[in-house]
């Protein structure tokens, strides 16, 4: 039964990958020249509406169950705050990773195949970028990857496996060699956050924050927004000396990774704390005898104490194995995305 469900989930993703690849090819051939229309089609239809409809029809049988399966579980205000901080931390980690891999592939002669055209900055343009680059990806891309491919798939078993494969697919779905590496790593880090928080909302917040900061610094550099020019000037100063660049980057990345690990542990404890509070409120302790109420409180505190020892190996368990047949379309998605991603590398060096 679990293999059958996983098989259906992979068919859903394969359909999404084909549609994204088709839109990508149409754009490359010049048959779909409007980037905003392409982004809208990919985000709203391909990564959200169609997968949700297919999953509801063939797996969950109801939209309410679909949202439940894909991790739409309420989170506390504290978890929202932690997720925002994690979003900032992962933005800078992502930025360092992106620079590193861009430098690596440039050694082989790669140049981005996309063309940069001069644009007139306006609030209308800023709003479109905010909607299409920050809001929609934070919802739609997360629903497909951390929702269906991670949260729904992990119910079939082997959490570690679906965490890794969903991260790889997230990188490949960008269909760009320059974005694949850092998107896959970012997908893994957001996926782990989704697992320890038992909800898709933290990864949505992190994704939004990452893209928001990227948009903010991009526009802010030209419009002299606070901190934007400072960050760009600081990066230019660090990169002016190769030794300073290596030392500073190493120190910063180590600090950011340490902070990420700490925050995920805090998030995991906050998840348990929030769930225990809900359980206690449902128990109506004020109506119980003092001794029984105290026992319930002690049990809740014990759960919180144990939650402090949450580690990767305990949270992301291996689980059962999937049959080869249930992975056929998953492998097909990886091959299709991989071929186009490799093609962008070849086009970029020719």
List the domain boundaries for the chain: 2-111+123-349
- Give all strands (DSSP E) within 56-120, no chain letters: none
CA–CA dist 324, 322 (Å, integer):
7
The pLDDT, as a whole number, for residue 154 is 92
The residues of the chain scoring below 50 in pLDDT are: 115-116, 308-314
C-beta of residue 260 within 8 angstroms of C-beta of residue 186: no
DSSP letter for 133, please. I
As given in the structure block, the two tokens for residue 111 are 């140049």
- Asked if 64 and 52 touch (Cβ cutoff 8 Å), the reply is no
Q: Which two tokens stand for residue 132?
A: 């299409």
Burial (Cβ within 10 Å: 0-12, 13-18, ≥19) of residue 71 = buried
d(CA 142, CA 205) in angstroms, rounded, equals: 10
- What's the pLDDT score for residue 312? 44
Q: What is the CA radius of gyration of the chain?
A: 22
pLDDT of residue 65: 97
Q: Could you give the residue ranges of the DSSP H alpha helices within 108-241?
A: 123-129, 136, 142, 153-154, 159-172, 177-197, 201-223, 228-239
CA–CA separation, 290 and 176 (whole Å): 62
At 188 the pLDDT is: 97
For residues 301, 305, 310, 315, the Cα torsion angle rounded to the nearest 10 degrees is -30
CB 316 within 8 A of CB 195: yes
- Report how far residue 174's alpha carbon sits from residue 340's, in angstroms, rounded to the nearest whole number: 10
Q: If 0-12 CB within 10 Å is exposed, 13-18 middle and 19+ buried, where does residue 290 land?
A: exposed
């Amino acid at each position: 039964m679990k293999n059958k469900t996983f098989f259906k989930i992979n068919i859903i993703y394969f359909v999404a990958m084909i549609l994204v690849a088709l839109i990508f090819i149409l754009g490359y051939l010049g048959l779909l020249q409007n980037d905003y229309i392409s982004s809208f089609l990919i985000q709203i239809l391909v990564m959200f509406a169609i997968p949700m409809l297919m999953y509801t029809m063939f797996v969950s049988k109801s939209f309410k169950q679909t949202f439940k399966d894909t991790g739409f579980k309420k989170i506390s205000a504290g978890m929202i705050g932690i997720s925002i901080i994690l979003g900032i931390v992962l933005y800078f980690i992502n930025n360092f990773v992106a620079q590193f891999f861009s430098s690596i592939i440039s050694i082989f002669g790669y140049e981005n195949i996309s063309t940069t055209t001069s644009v007139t900055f306006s609030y209308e343009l800023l709003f479109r970028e905010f909607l299409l680059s920050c809001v929609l990806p934070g919802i739609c891309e997360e629903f497909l990857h951390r929702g269906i491919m991670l949260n729904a798939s992990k119910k079939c078993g082997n959490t570690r496996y679906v965490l890794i494969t969903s991260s790889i697919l997230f990188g490949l779905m960008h269909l760009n060699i320059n974005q694949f590496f850092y998107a896959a790593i970012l997908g893994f880090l957001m996926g782990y956050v989704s697992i320890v928080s038992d909800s898709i909302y933290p990864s949505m917040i992190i994704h939004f924050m990452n893209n928001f900061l990227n948009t903010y610094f991009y526009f802010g550099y030209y419009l002299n927004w606070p901190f934007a020019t400072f960050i760009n000037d600081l990066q230019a100063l660090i990169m002016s000396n190769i030794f300073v660049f290596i030392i500073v980057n190493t120190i910063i990345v180590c600090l950011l990774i340490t902070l990420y690990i700490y925050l995920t542990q805090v998030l995991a404890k906050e998840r348990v704390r929030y769930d225990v509070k809900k359980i206690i409120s449902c128990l109506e302790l004020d109506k119980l005898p003092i001794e029984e109420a105290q026992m319930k409180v002690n049990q809740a505190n014990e759960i919180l104490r144990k939650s402090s020892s949450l580690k990767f190996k305990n949270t992301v368990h291996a689980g059962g194995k999937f049959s080869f047949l249930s992975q056929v379309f998953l492998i097909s998605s990886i091959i299709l995305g991989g071929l186009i991603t490799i093609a962008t590398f070849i086009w970029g060096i020719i």
